[in-house]
């Protein structure tokens, strides 16, 4: 009976939050995430579900940023280490994949799926979620960093002076390097 009551409470809280979200004037454009100390903005229209860290099975002979595969909601998804992909962190060591917490896997680690419209069953492994962001939350926009990959869009600066990198996930999934995971 307690489970039914908690489910009912959850449904009521979700309904209240949805009604508040509908009445708010500010529309979020990005999912803000952190990966190896860097802040990224993932377009909401290109992002999918958010999952807690899951058991990931290593796939041999793949690129270092391809961590492995995970079963999420009954489907197999390739797990991409965002920090290793962009070159800001060394790839995670294979021994950590057995569910042992270490290296960079923490209780805040999440898997963010790419939207199904992008046609790729993949998730980005991030260190933690930082919430939703709208354009009104940023005081300045900068150009794409020199030598940055094609999927890096503009840089943004928020009111606190923190720098954010906007990613274009549609461009990412079209990159030949991203689609060819064999080492």
Stated as kind and residue range, the H or E segment containing 154 is strand 152-158
Output the CA angle 51-32-43, nearest 5 degrees. 85
On average, the pLDDT of the chain sits at: 86
Stated as kind and residue range, the H or E segment containing 82 is helix 82-86
Question: Which residue's structure tokens are 């960093």?
Answer: 145
Q: What is the pLDDT of residue 3?
A: 58
**Residue 140 — very low, low, confident or very high, per pLDDT cuts 50/70/90?**
confident
DSSP helix/strand/coil, 176: helix
34: pLDDT strictly greater than 90? yes
Return the higher-pLDDT residue of 55 and 23: 55
Q: What is the pLDDT of residue 2?
A: 56
User: How confident is the model over 87-136, as pLDDT tens digits?
Assistant: 876 666 555 554 444 567 888 999 999 999 999 999 999 999 999 999 99
Q: What is the pLDDT of residue 100?
A: 40
pTM for the whole thing? Answer: 0.79
Q: What is the pLDDT of residue 87?
A: 82
Q: What's the CA dihedral at 47, 50, 55, 59 to 10 degrees? A: 0
**Of residues 41, 135, 52, the one with CA closest to residue 82:** 41
CA 119 and chain centroid, separation: 16
Look up residue 103 and give its DSSP letter. Answer: T
By DSSP bridging, strand 66-72 and strand 47-52 are: unpaired
Least confident range from 58-67, 112-121, 140-149: namely: 140-149
Q: What is the pLDDT of residue 27?
A: 83
Please return the burial class of 31, using the count of CB atoms within 10 Å of its CB with bins 0-12, 13-18 and 19+.
buried
Q: Are 77 and 70 contacting, i.e. CB atoms less than 8 angstroms apart?
A: yes
């Amino acid at each position: 009976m307690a489970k039914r009551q908690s489910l009912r409470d959850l449904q009521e809280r979700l309904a209240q939050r949805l009604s508040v979200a509908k009445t708010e004037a500010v529309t979020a454009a990005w999912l803000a995430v952190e990966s190896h100390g860097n802040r990224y903005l993932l377009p909401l229209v290109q992002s999918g579900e958010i999952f807690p860290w899951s058991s990931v099975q290593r796939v041999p002979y793949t690129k270092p940023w391809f961590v492995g595969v995970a079963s999420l909601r009954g489907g197999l998804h390739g797990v991409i280490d965002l920090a290793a992909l962009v070159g800001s962190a060394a790839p995670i060591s294979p021994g950590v994949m057995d569910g042992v917490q270490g290296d960079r896997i923490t209780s805040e680690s999440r898997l963010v799926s790419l939207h199904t419209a992008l046609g790729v069953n993949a998730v980005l492994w991030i260190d933690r979620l930082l919430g939703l962001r709208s354009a009104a939350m940023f005081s300045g926009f900068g150009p794409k960093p020199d030598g940055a990959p094609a999927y890096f869009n503009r840089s943004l600066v928020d009111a606190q002076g923190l720098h954010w990198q906007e990613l274009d996930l549609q461009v990412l999934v079209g990159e030949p390097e991203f689609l060819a995971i064999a080492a």
